[in-house]
């Protein structure tokens, strides 16, 4: 830990305030992007690179998707922690591999700064056993096979922005998940042991009958080939020939229409399931790249939820710029489009730990 951080914990309130207001460099590797930003004490954000971060940065916060059984709370990264994170790559190969690589690079570039790993799985630690437990033999469950849930930083931010009792957050981007939040706490989510479970995504399959996967393995498909197909060749890409919702919406091809229909059908079904977990529904949030930018996806999803009293204002939905409400007058459910701010939540966590 560098001298600036040590001074900030000395008991001098002026120095403590300086530390709280100092910028944090946030490294956020997603499934389709690597986002680098500097978050200041007022939660303003500047897009940066590892090489051009301002000299007054007090720490580097790293979003790590999967913390496994061991990691829930934020942790300062040292050589032992970095090695432990490397051992978790197989649980979320697209995300954790990128996170570990970024951690190694950032630690070399900023050896004098504390590096803090912040875990997406942490927010979902409140999911009750009935939702987290798979109906598997105990010898499998003893290996840590359970529902973990992901996109926790994004869901936490959305829950703060829309503080209702019964909230469903749809994080729809390259990866997609749907989460039930009761009074600010996660109680159910669509992703599970890995980020493969749940609704279809850009290139990931989402939930598939495990019997179908066993069938493929029995008929000669290698494990590595199956994993690559599920992670990189499925989802919207596998159905419509493109992983981008924007490209699919611009296409007249029937397979593009099918891809969007399957996607919105599954997302709506997941929202309905989350409403059951919440004993009702007060609000829905759409966030991340697709959730924030595709009026068509929001329209199709909400049209499938009319039985829950969801009604969109068509013009507000078409013209929505986050943060915005897009429900129609008289809708029983609030519908909000919220800009994802995972970087702010990660920076807060780093400051709190240090």
DSSP-derived pairing of the beta strands 45-47 and 34-39:
antiparallel
Which residue of the set 16, 69, 73, 120 is catalytic? 120
279 burial (CB, 10 Å; 0-12 / 13-18 / 19+) is exposed
185 burial (CB, 10 Å; 0-12 / 13-18 / 19+) is middle
Q: How many CB atoms lie within 10 A of CB 6?
A: 12
Per-residue tokens: 53: 């971060």
Short-list 339, 353, 352, CA closest to 35: 339
For residues 253 and 170, give the distance between their C-alpha atoms in angstroms, rounded to a whole number. 27
Can you name the residues that pair with 170 across neighbouring β-strands? 178, 286
Q: How far is CA 248 from CA 180, 219, 235, 253, 320, in A?
A: 28, 32, 12, 8, 20
Helix H or strand E segment including 3: helix 3-8
Active site (annotated) includes residue 120? yes
Phi-psi region of 197 (alpha: psi -120 to 50; beta: other; left: phi over 0): beta
Residue 59 near residue 107 (C-beta atoms within 8 A) = no
243-246 contact pairs (CB < 8 A, 24+): 243/32, 243/174, 243/202, 243/203, 244/202, 245/290, 245/294, 245/296, 245/297, 246/293, 246/294
Residue 207 near residue 214 (C-beta atoms within 8 A) = no
Read off the DSSP letter of residue 320: -
Phi and psi (nearest 5°) for 114?
A: -70, 140
For residues 2 and 16, give the distance between their C-alpha atoms in angstroms, rounded to a whole number. 14
Short-list 105, 158, 152, CA closest to 127: 152
So which residues are the catalytic ones?
A: 120
């Amino acid at each position: 830990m560098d001298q600036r951080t040590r001074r900030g914990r000395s008991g001098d309130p002026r120095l403590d305030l300086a530390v709280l207001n100092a910028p944090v460099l946030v490294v956020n590797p997603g499934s389709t992007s690597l986002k680098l930003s500097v978050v200041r004490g007022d939660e303003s954000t500047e897009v940066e690179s590892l090489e051009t971060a301002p000299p007054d940065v007090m720490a580097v916060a790293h979003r790590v998707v999967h913390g496994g059984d061991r990691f829930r709370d934020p942790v300062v990264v040292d050589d032992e922690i970095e090695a432990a994170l490397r051992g978790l790559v197989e649980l979320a190969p697209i995300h954790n591999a990128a996170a570990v690589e970024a951690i190694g690079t950032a630690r070399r570039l900023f050896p004098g700064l504390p590096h803090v790993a912040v875990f997406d799985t942490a927010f979902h630690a409140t999911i009750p056993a009935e939702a987290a437990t798979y109906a598997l033999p105990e010898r499998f469950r003893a290996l840590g096979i359970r529902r973990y849930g992901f996109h926790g930083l994004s869901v936490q931010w959305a829950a703060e922005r829309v503080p209702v009792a019964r909230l469903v957050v749809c994080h729809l981007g390259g990866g997609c998940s749907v989460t039930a939040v009761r009074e600010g706490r996660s109680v159910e989510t669509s992703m599970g042991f890995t980020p493969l479970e749940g609704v279809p995504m850009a290139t990931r399959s989402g939930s598939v009958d495990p019997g179908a996967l066993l069938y493929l393995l029995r008929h000669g498909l290698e494990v590595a080939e199956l994993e690559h197909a599920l992670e990189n060749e499925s989802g919207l890409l596998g159905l419509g020939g493109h992983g981008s919702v924007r490209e699919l919406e611009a296409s007249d091809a029937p397979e593009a229409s099918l891809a969007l229909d399957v996607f919105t059908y599954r997302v709506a079904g997941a929202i309905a399931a989350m409403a059951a977990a919440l004993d009702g529904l007060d609000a829905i949030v759409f966030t991340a790249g697709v959730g924030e930018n595709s009026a068509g996806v929001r329209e199709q999803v909400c049209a499938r939820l009319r039985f829950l009293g969801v009604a969109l204002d068509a013009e507000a939905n078409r013209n929505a710029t986050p943060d915005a409400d897009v429900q129609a007058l008289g809708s029983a459910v609030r519908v909000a489009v919220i800009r994802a701010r995972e970087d702010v939540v990660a920076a807060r966590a780093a400051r709190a730990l240090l």
